[in-house]
């Protein structure tokens, strides 16, 4: 059932997937899905719950020298997206676009488990962390949308090394470089 749910949420997003369609794909009665998961929201959480564990890949990013952390972040994102958790992560991103609850879930997961840890690992004034983190997240979200959701060429078919070389310096600038930070009142 979870595999069918992940596929449905990845293909159609939260709003487009239905319990009935998921049950049909899994070869079970919809009542069985309701029995195990209760609601569509609970099924969604179960389907995307920990498709990847940040603790499995983040230590490598945090071990990179601070001046190479941007490229390390991009490599990590590509590794996650090119791995077996891709359908579940794709389901979450597609659902977040149209469903506020999913957006909150994704935002909290990304901020709490990844962005704050990466930004906190680089020396910077405390008052810059939120703005720099938002900029890093915006670049990564844009990369994910263009490469994996919209499949914009040549980005979609570029090798991970090419993408890391192209996007990594921008993420690095957001982390440690000279940048006009949004929300800053100097």
The domain spanning residue 11 has which CATH number?
1.10.10.60
For residue 103, give both structure tokens: 């957006």
* pLDDT value, residue 87: 84
* pLDDT value, residue 50: 55
For residue 23, give both structure tokens: 């049950």
Q: How far apart are CA 126 and CA 82, in angstroms?
A: 33
Q: How far apart are CA 41 and CA 102, in angstroms?
A: 9
Is the CB of residue 33 less than 8 Å from the CB of residue 26? yes
Domain match, 86 and 24 both: no
Domain match, 21 and 65 both: no
Domain match, 124 and 160 both: yes
* pLDDT value, residue 168: 97
Domain match, 38 and 101 both: no
Q: The domain spanning residue 130 has which CATH number?
A: 1.10.357.10
Size (the chain), residues: 186
Q: How far apart are CA 5 and CA 26, in angstroms?
A: 8
* pLDDT value, residue 91: 78
Q: How far apart are CA 144 and CA 128, in angstroms?
A: 24
Nearest to 88 by CA among 27, 96, 23, 18: 96
Domain match, 29 and 82 both: no
Domain match, 60 and 133 both: yes
Under DSSP, the state recorded for 67 is G
Q: Is residue 170 part of a domain?
A: yes
Q: Is residue 121 part of a domain?
A: yes
Domain match, 77 and 96 both: yes
Residue 58, domain extent: 54-176
Q: Is residue 84 part of a domain?
A: yes
Domain match, 20 and 79 both: no
Domain match, 43 and 98 both: no
* pLDDT value, residue 60: 93
Residues of the chain with pLDDT under 70: 48-52, 101, 104-105, 108-109, 112, 184-186
Q: Whole-prediction pTM value?
A: 0.72
* pLDDT value, residue 47: 76
């Amino acid at each position: 059932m979870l595999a069918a749910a992940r596929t449905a949420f990845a293909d159609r997003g939260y709003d487009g997937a239905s319990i009935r369609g998921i049950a049909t794909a899994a070869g079970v009665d919809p009542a069985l899905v309701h029995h195990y998961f209760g609601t569509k929201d609970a099924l969604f959480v179960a389907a995307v719950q920990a498709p990847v564990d940040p603790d499995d890949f983040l230590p490598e990013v945090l071990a990179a020298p601070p001046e190479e952390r941007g490229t390390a972040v991009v490599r990590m994102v590509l590794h996650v997206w090119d791995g077996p958790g891709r359908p579940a992560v794709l389901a979450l991103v597609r659902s977040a676009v149209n469903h506020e609850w999913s957006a909150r879930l994704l935002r909290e997961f990304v901020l709490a488990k990844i962005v704050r840890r990466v930004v906190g690992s680089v020396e910077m004034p405390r008052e810059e962390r939120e703005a720099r983190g938002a900029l890093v997240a915006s670049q990564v979200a844009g990369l994910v949308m263009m490469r994996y959701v919209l499949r914009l060429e040549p980005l979609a078919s570029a090798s991970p090394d090419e993408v890391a070389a192209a996007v990594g310096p921008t993420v690095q600038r957001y982390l440690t470089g000279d940048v006009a930070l949004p929300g800053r009142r100097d």
